[in-house]
Amino acid sequence: MFFSGDNGPATAAALAGPNAIATDSAGNTTRVVSSRLNWQKPNVPILTVTAESVSFDTPPSEFAVAIVELNPAIEKHPRYAFLTLDIRNLINMSVSGSQLISVNEAQKQLQTSLDAILKPKPPPNPPPQFIGTNKQIRDAAMEVLTKRRLGEDTFYLPGFRLTWAEYFWSPVALNPGGYIGDPIDEGLPWFFWSVDYTPEGSDIFHLMAEWNPQFYTLPNDADPDNYRDGISWLRMCDTIEYSRTWFKITHSWLGAPYAHWDADLYSQKASPYPPPPPFPLSGAGP
């Protein structure tokens, strides 16, 4: 904005103050957030004003995807997902036991236990999706044991924190989260996730199973309604902020590879069991 003439400085000073209201030639009303007044030559000031709308549209939505390193225990790697809990416990005992007895003796004990576990048994009914041959189970168990002894206790696994912020003129209802919910199905605008910039386009995660099939290929028993491209999403609680004119509502989701979020714990359905007692959960009075 430029103001000149005898009344230029006074006009500029009047508009430069924070929270001043200005109306342009189109009738749009704005509130001054900050301003800076510089002199180009005597009696010709240059006023730079940063203002936000009062009478027209809210600011555009914001979007971000941040990485959260999960780094689970190595026995939770998809490579070893078919190992039973009993075998995993035996591996843990062999790792800790090797501190007191020889490595060979610990490994011998694991082999003996595996022999007992892997004896032929009637097939379970219904059969699991994948059992694994005795050789596969034995090889995988010894592989985990070797890696644990080499200090490979965890593995790199990225999670995703997706946030979408909207601006409103007044407060809106907050979503408490705590359930499995896909951000795209819950209204994330397509121009944030579509790789070909159309509402029908593929989302930004659609090549992950191709690049990393170990982590992002859906398991055989996965519910496809709870997953998108091998990622399970947990809806988190909304947050609200107020600044000068607008209420900023931020929606958040945490995403991780298949089977990370427990569908029993993070369901939008009511619990089939009796409701918990009033706080405190111990049942004791205050």
Does residue 121 lie within any of the structural domains?
yes
Does residue 279 lie within any of the structural domains?
no
Buried b (16+ CB within 10 A) or exposed e, 159-168: bbebbbbbbe
pLDDT exceeds 50 at position 7: no
Does residue 240 lie within any of the structural domains?
yes
Does residue 1 lie within any of the structural domains?
no
Highest mean pLDDT pick, 47-51, 59-63, 86-90, 242-246: 59-63
- Considering the domain architecture, whether residues 28 and 143 belong to the same structural domain is answered as no
Tell me the per-residue pLDDT of 97-113, one tens digit each, with 9 for 90 and over: 655 555 666 667 677 77
Tell me the per-residue pLDDT of 115-155, one tens digit each, with 9 for 90 and over: 666 666 555 555 555 567 888 888 999 899 889 988 899 99
Number of domains in the chain: 3
CB-CB contact of 59 with 246 (8 Å): yes
Per-residue pLDDT band for 62 (boundaries 50, 70, 90) equals very high
Does residue 262 lie within any of the structural domains?
no
CB-CB contact of 204 with 195 (8 Å): yes
CB-CB contact of 8 with 45 (8 Å): yes
- C-alpha span between 238 and 94 (Å, rounded): 45
Does residue 277 lie within any of the structural domains?
no
Domain limits for position 135:
74-149
- Considering the domain architecture, whether residues 31 and 89 belong to the same structural domain is answered as no
- Considering the domain architecture, whether residues 139 and 166 belong to the same structural domain is answered as no
- Considering the domain architecture, whether residues 160 and 133 belong to the same structural domain is answered as no
Does residue 278 lie within any of the structural domains?
no
- Considering the domain architecture, whether residues 243 and 188 belong to the same structural domain is answered as yes
Tell me the per-residue pLDDT of 9-42, one tens digit each, with 9 for 90 and over: 445 445 556 667 777 777 777 777 777 878 777 7
Does residue 266 lie within any of the structural domains?
no
Mean pLDDT of 183-209: 93
